[in-house]
Structure 1
């Protein structure tokens, strides 16, 4: 499989009254169509690492290359466009706008990217919701949906720009077992279609169903 993401010697510090190092010389590579779970105890640095890999946090030492592009050092506008085009995000908390309908929430990243007109974006958003079996709720306010339904809308939103990589931070953390299985089945289908998924999770059963587990402890990858 072809390498899609490569990180070399990542070090991360939090600066407050005291400077604290939270990641130590993290190096890893992830290939196309992998389903990778990052695991470890709370505070081990796994979510911090995900935020670096996803380009949401750019304050670090080391380098990250994604899809052949050195994203480390890109200016803010170039980084934002790269992120919006190549990376989809799913979080533990769905971060939907409750005053917007489900389809309006899904459309937002595509409208921001600006590659297609409103009609084409709406058609694509409806198709993404159909994949999540949420098309019948497309024009409901997202605040009126259940937690599991909201997370499926959030996944549809992550897919709207057809990203190469989906980054997920505890995507099933607030879901029951039934909806956890739904999310896993969606992710598995995406991997079969060529997507790459990197997820932080505490759920061992969820992680074991993927291709690879990266375990972390005290800001380092366990060997």
Structure 2
């Protein structure tokens, strides 16, 4: 039987201000390698909160999260940061590129931080990811000079640079038009076909419908 790439068991999350609120209620989830999953639900249902727990960015919760056979719940921040940089890539609704740096420099940054390769090898890998996004011709251009769709493709290239097992994306097409949304979906689909796991939070029903599985959330619980 295949071992899940990610397993969450009985996750509970509380917000304590301005008053206590039970935002995630006994959420359990299993994700297999190569799955392309969309998490959907109305605003406030807990879907983005769940993604932040699964991505190890939020550690204040009850329950257990296991990624690649490593129990990440309870790891200290330094160990989590190292694990996150190696195994998880992030794509957010806002790209968080450094506008004054070139496209190539932005893509290289996570690999430089990981420190597993020398600069020449990192640059080569970054160019390969840009070619995958069909953005190699813009490598030397300041990131702040790109369109929104181009910047999001660069953000995906950056998320892929360390060859993570899982790409997590929070509303990755929320600021894009339909043409760029289709491009981003096709990129994610191709990445999943290559064996990476994709977990997205989205409000876009058409985007979600084309993924492998839709997880519906209502009031902090998975309902389907």
In structure 1, the residue matched to 2:131 is: 130
Q: TM-score, normalised by structure 2?
A: 0.98
In structure 2, the residue matched to 1:171 is: 172
Give the superposition deviation at 1:204.
0.5
Q: What does 1:1-223 correspond to in 2, within 5 Å?
A: 1-223=2-224
Mapped partners of 2:17, 2:191: distance in 1: 40
CA deviation string 1:141-194 (max 9, x = no partner): 000000000000000000000000000000000111111111111111111100
Give 4+ residue runs of structure 1 displaced > 6 Å after superposition: none
CA deviation string 1:121-159 (max 9, x = no partner): 111111101110110001100000000000000000000
The alpha-carbon distance between structure 1 residues 17 and 184, as it changes in their structure 2 partners (threshold 3 A), is: closer
CA deviation string 1:23-56 (max 9, x = no partner): 1000010001100000000110000000000001
Segments of 5+ residues of structure 1 without an aligned counterpart are none
Mapped partners of 1:72, 1:5: distance in 2: 12
Equivalent position SS for 2:5: strand
RMSD value, Cα:
0.8
Aligned length, in residue pairs: 223
Give the superposition deviation at 1:2.
3.5
Mapped partners of 1:20, 1:99: distance in 2: 40
Equivalent position SS for 1:3: coil
Equivalent position SS for 2:134: coil
Give the superposition deviation at 1:17.
3.7
Segments of 5+ residues of structure 2 without an aligned counterpart are none
